[in-house]
Amino acid sequence: MCYIIYVGIDDTDSSEGMCTTYIGAVVMDELKSCGYRVLGYPRLIRLNPFARFKTRGNGAVSFKLLIKSEDEFETAKNLIINRVKELSHRQEENTNPGVVFYKVKTDNHNALIDLPSELEDYALKTVQNIVTIKEAEELAVKIGAEIHKIKKGRGIIGALAAIGCPLPDSTFELLAYRLPENYGTKRRMNYDSVRKMDEETFPCTFDNLDEEEGYIAIEPHTPCPILFGIRGETPDCVDEAHAMVELCEPVEKTAVFLTNQHTDQHLIDIDQISDMEKYKCYIIEGRVSRNPYVIEGGHVIMTLQDDSGSIECAAYEPTKGFREIFKELRKGDRLKVYGGIGDKGTLNVEKFQIIELANDYKTINPICECGKRMKSAGKDKGFKCKCGRKLRDGEKVREEVERKIEKGFYEVPPSARRHLSKPLVRFKINKKKTKNLR
Ligand code: ATP
């Protein structure tokens, strides 16, 4: 008889630095060097992108530990909690770490373990909705999970969700961490080797580059411990890609995480615009009811409507070239839109599918009897032609314009992609996942 301990950790970093995945990697290495066995892949679970207190990508970490006795559990627990206290940025007001332990007794640690369905439902809710510390505490009591709150301990929300999140679809991310003395300095790697790696491993790895923006997407732009992260379909392909990247600075350690990144798990498929709420992400069908227009800051806005109501949809400035495609939408186009609703109630579009294209028209001056296009004769004076003819009561005519956009899917570039958002290249992949990955 042995125990599997599910360990969840969250809310350890601040905008000044640190990263929950790094603390997870440090803790796992230390446990292994003390003789503990970590089972399977650790998990990096991205939660609701609209959660109020997130630092950046709203990620939480969990892993499984094999334990033979209560004593071993106590020692591991102390090690984990002490490391989280020591490494987290808990001096920052908004960093409120949480650690959760969930113990399962088993006589076969290789067997599939069914986690309580309430825990899975809660985890999905944390990815798609907003939850409270109280809700996490109540669930922990109900299922017998042990929670450790540091300061306000808000991190228990994410820590519990990272343990329980079902993964019907999943990806992997290999993260390489810098030496602490290099934190905050420019990351040093050979960008040509990253381009070559992308050429050779795409689409098994993806979002390595943003070609349009000439942007290397594997490196973060914050002072955190991560040197780069390579995202892909399998542990082998992220490993292979890692070996192709030429680095010009040392790596402290690497870790491969199983994740819900790029699976669209945050999106709720919904039937009516009127049922949509702030701080949630959706897939919704409707028709464009107002042509796109540009507002200050270079953001492009259009209105989507169905029988129940309408919602403003935005392609924000950071989505760069995506805005040019968005501008080509026209009133009457039938769309399926994927995105989330922020503070202002506007849907931030991650991708869309054009299901039906409406006819587009422009209004132009009429053609003269002589066959030439007429010109305006002045305000309220009708039209005139070079041939001398005049049309005092003439009106502009409507002419159909060829659409510059086709039916199909369009998405934001990698530089503007949410961690949870599924890139179109992944739509073609039909992966079979088992509960084992949990
Ligand atoms: P990073 O991605 O760099 O690790 P972060 O963006 O994950 O940082 P955190 O420091 O983890 O940000 O802060 C997010 C906080 O919000 C955590 O305390 C987490 O428990 C909590 N949280 C996560 N999801 C939700 C949710 N759906 N509702 C309410 N709180 C949430």
**pLDDT one-digit tens code per residue, 315-347:** 999 999 999 999 999 999 999 999 999 999 999
Residue 184 belongs to a domain with what CATH number? 3.90.600.20
Please identify, among 106, 141, 164, the residue that sits at the C-terminal boundary of a domain: 164
Please identify, among 108, 132, 164, the residue that sits at the C-terminal boundary of a domain: 164
Of all protein residues, the one whose alpha carbon is nearest to atom 9 of ligand 1 is 11
For residue 396, pLDDT over 80 is answered with yes
12, 97 Cβ separation under 8 angstroms: yes
pLDDT digits (tens, 9 = 90+) for 158-205: 999 999 999 999 999 999 999 999 999 999 999 999 999 999 999 999
Q: Check whether residue 11 and residue 157 sit in a common domain.
A: yes
Query: Does ligand 1 have an atom closer than 6 angstroms to the CB of 321?
Result: no
What tokens were used for 133?
A: 């510390």
Rounded Cα distance, 365 and 194, in Å: 54
Rounded Cα distance, 200 and 289, in Å: 43
Residue linked to tokens 């090690």: 79
Query: Does any domain span residue 245?
Result: yes
Of all protein residues, the one whose alpha carbon is nearest to atom 26 of ligand 1 is 130
Q: Note the pLDDT of residue 435.
A: 44
Closest CA to 18 of 160, 266, 225, 309: 225
Q: Check whether residue 133 and residue 187 sit in a common domain.
A: no
Query: Does any domain span residue 433?
Result: no
Rounded Cα distance, 210 and 233, in Å: 19
Question: Distance of CA 146 to CAs 99, 107, 154, 165, 336, Å?
Answer: 8, 22, 14, 17, 42
Residue 284 belongs to a domain with what CATH number? 2.40.50.1010
Rounded Cα distance, 323 and 320, in Å: 6
Q: Supply the Cα-derived Rg of the chain in whole angstroms.
A: 27
Q: Check whether residue 197 and residue 159 sit in a common domain.
A: no
Residue 58 belongs to a domain with what CATH number? 3.30.70.2200
Q: Check whether residue 78 and residue 194 sit in a common domain.
A: no
Show the DSSP H helices in 114-216 as ranges. Answer: 117-128, 133-143, 156-164, 191-201
Number of domains the chain is built from: 4
Q: Note the pLDDT of residue 430.
A: 64
Q: Check whether residue 11 and residue 89 sit in a common domain.
A: yes
Of all protein residues, the one whose alpha carbon is nearest to atom 3 of ligand 1 is 56
Q: Check whether residue 220 and residue 313 sit in a common domain.
A: no
The alpha carbon dihedral of 92, 19, 207, 192 has a sign of positive
pTM given for the model: 0.94
pLDDT digits (tens, 9 = 90+) for 271-297: 999 999 999 999 999 999 999 999 999
Q: Note the pLDDT of residue 208.
A: 97
Query: Does ligand 1 have an atom closer than 6 angstroms to the CB of 147?
Result: no
Residue-wise burial string across 77-92, b where 16 or more C-beta atoms lie within 10 A, e elsewhere: beebbebbeebbbbeb
Query: Does ligand 1 have an atom closer than 6 angstroms to the CB of 19?
Result: yes
Q: Residue type at 177? A: Y
Query: Does ligand 1 have an atom closer than 6 angstroms to the CB of 58?
Result: yes
Q: Check whether residue 28 and residue 100 sit in a common domain.
A: yes
Question: Distance of CA 224 to CAs 89, 103, 138, 228, Å?
Answer: 11, 31, 33, 10
Q: Check whether residue 410 and residue 286 sit in a common domain.
A: yes
Please identify, among 259, 275, 299, the residue that sits at the C-terminal boundary of a domain: 259
* Burial group, residue 120, by CB count within 10 angstroms (0-12, 13-18, 19+): middle
Q: Check whether residue 127 and residue 180 sit in a common domain.
A: no
Query: Does any domain span residue 93?
Result: yes
Query: Does any domain span residue 437?
Result: no
Q: Note the pLDDT of residue 162.
A: 98
Q: Check whether residue 211 and residue 114 sit in a common domain.
A: no
Query: Does any domain span residue 434?
Result: no
Residue linked to tokens 């070996």: 243
Q: Check whether residue 315 and residue 422 sit in a common domain.
A: yes
Residue linked to tokens 């905050």: 184
Q: What angle do CA 364, 369, 373 make, to 5 degrees?
A: 30
Of all protein residues, the one whose alpha carbon is nearest to atom 24 of ligand 1 is 47
Q: Where in the sequence is the domain holding 324, given as residue range(s)? A: 267-357+403-427
Rounded Cα distance, 427 and 370, in Å: 55
* CA of 13 relative to ligand 1 center, distance in Å: 10
Q: Check whether residue 215 and residue 291 sit in a common domain.
A: no
Closest CA to 300 of 334, 330, 323, 325: 323
Query: Does any domain span residue 133?
Result: yes
Query: Does any domain span residue 75?
Result: yes
Query: Does any domain span residue 438?
Result: no
